[in-house]
Amino acid sequence: MKEKQLNRPQIVPVILSGGSGTRLWPKSRKTYPKQLHKLYGDCTMLQHTVKRVAQFEAPIVVCNNDQRFMVADQLSEVCTAKPHIILEPMGRNTAPAIAAAADLALKHYRNPILVVLAADHLIKDLAAFNAAMDHAISAAAEKKLVAFGVVPDKPETGYGYIQAETGNNAEGSKVIQFVEKPNLETAKQYLQAGNYTWNSGMFVFSAQQVLEEIKTCGGEWLEACHKAVEYAESDLDFIRLNKEHFSCCDNISIDYALMEKTENAWMVPLNAGWSDLGSWDSLWEVSDKDENGNAVFGDAFLQNCNNSLIHSQNRLVTAIGLDNIVIVESDDALLVANRQKTQDVKNIVDWLKEEQRSEFKHHRQVHRPWGSFDSIDSGERYQVKRIEVKPGASLSLQLHHHRAEHWIVVKGTAKVKKGKEERMLYENESIYIPIGENHQLSNPGKLPLHIIEVRSGSYMGEDDIVRLNDF
């Protein structure tokens, strides 16, 4: 009995958080993607995902460098044990990300079984999700590579499908084939056949087995992935994969690298109110609505509107006489679209990227390791920012050649270094930093520090910073 207990596998969630969610622009941006936003409920999508598998071991989360501090902050709010955060030096799709997580899991856990989840999915029925998870883990313990197949309720052309021997056996069934996104007529045939499910992109399998089968299925890049983990560097709370080796991995999904080739693919059906929230229309579909079919988030007034989505972040949004319309207001952009055309929002993002517009990459509020800043006003020779500094955090010791700064504390306590002077500032107190003066802002308190910064001078760019700490 003791030997059985010792060999019992540990269940390890692997959460993939590298997506950018371009079809949910302007809310989702490259450096602040949809999984880090609160699109439903009181948590971000990443936090919902972590809480959904809180009964298992501490998660392994895979993300990119730009999002690392936001990811770490959000995980600290919901994780009871310290998670492992893997930083990808560049995107290489899901297969190398999962392989790196499997390598790490084998170092830290006993006979680990991986539960691979995307960070940006919605699951409404947790009881049904947990029941399907139990079946998937049992199948994985019997050396099956499990994919969750979402039981379809309509002929959907936006998802790939899994054809299995049967679509309604709760314990799952053998996969016949994975098929690409179909046209509408084919999707209708799949729905009628009864043994086709949507490919959710969620998987359960043994860490050891997934690595062995990737290699068997022709994964020559796997050795480079092993080395990327072997030569990874620890950086604060993060594990930085070796860039040179990881760059040699194929850019390939786990579907193409493994699931479509293996003889051990298994499908467990999932009927739990799943959505990948891939567009504003899909958010409308799963949201609570008023008597006219409108889903409203934030401050809004609607009159004679039907089947519309209004998402307000900062301002009052008013709408009259609209049907099937999406309005999304953010701090620096406004989206108005036909609800049935929201898949095309990615075309806006492509244009923003081509034009090198800042709205492609980040919001007006920019997050930093020490907190965030929001550029609230600017004009000729001046700029106004609202700065928030986390408790115990500090900005770098720095100086500017082209601008002076005024700092006014509106909430909290600030410790300011100015030249050789060091002083404390409290609410409603201020200090002036002249051009060329070295200075540093810190928050010594236990609550967030909020200040208003007024810049004046001939140049306001973020690159007018000489960081003295770095020398």
Domain boundary among 255, 275, 295: 275
Once rounded to an integer, what is the mean pLDDT over residues 303-309? Answer: 98
Q: Which residues pair with 150 in a beta bridge?
A: 198, 270
Tens-place pLDDT, residues 87-137 = 999 999 999 999 999 999 999 999 999 999 999 999 999 999 999 999 999
Residue 207 sits in the same domain as residue 326: no
pLDDT given for residue 461 in this prediction: 82
Closest CA relative to residue 194, chosen from 269, 277, 264: 269
List pLDDT tens digits, range 44-98: 999 999 999 999 999 999 999 888 989 999 999 999 899 999 999 999 999 999 9
pLDDT (mean) for 402-408: 96
Residue 179 sits in the same domain as residue 307 = no
Q: Tell me the average pLDDT of the chain.
A: 93
Mark whether 42 and 14 lie in a shared domain. yes
Distances (CA, A) of 290 to 82, 312, 342, 458: 41, 16, 21, 51
Instruction: Say if 356 falls within a structural domain.
Output: no
Whole-number pLDDT of residue 289 = 96
Q: For position 30, which CATH number holds?
A: 3.90.550.10
**396 with 439, same domain?**
yes
Q: Does 431 share its domain with 299?
A: no
- The structure's pTM equals 0.88
- Check which CATH number belongs to the domain holding 423 and give it: 2.60.120.10
**Taking the alpha carbons of 166, 252, 33, 13 in that order, is the dihedral positive or negative?**
positive
Is position 358 within any domain? no
With pLDDT > 90 as the criterion, what percentage of the chain qualifies?
A: 84
Contact 199, 187 (CB under 8 A): no
- What is the domain range of residue 306? 280-351
pLDDT of 3 reads 45
pLDDT of 231 > 80? The answer is yes
Both 267 and 339 in a single domain?
A: no
Within-domain flag for 392? yes
Q: Is 457 left (phi over 0), alpha (psi -120 to 50) or beta?
A: left
| Phi, psi at 140, each rounded to 5° | -65, -35
- CB-based contact 17:86 (threshold 8 Å): no
- Considering its fold, how many domains does the chain have in total? 3
| Cα angle, residue 394 at apex, residues 35 and 401 outer, rounded to 5° | 105
Q: 203 and 338 in one domain?
A: no
Query: 357 in a domain, yes or no?
Result: no
Confidence band (pLDDT; 50, 70, 90) for 5? low
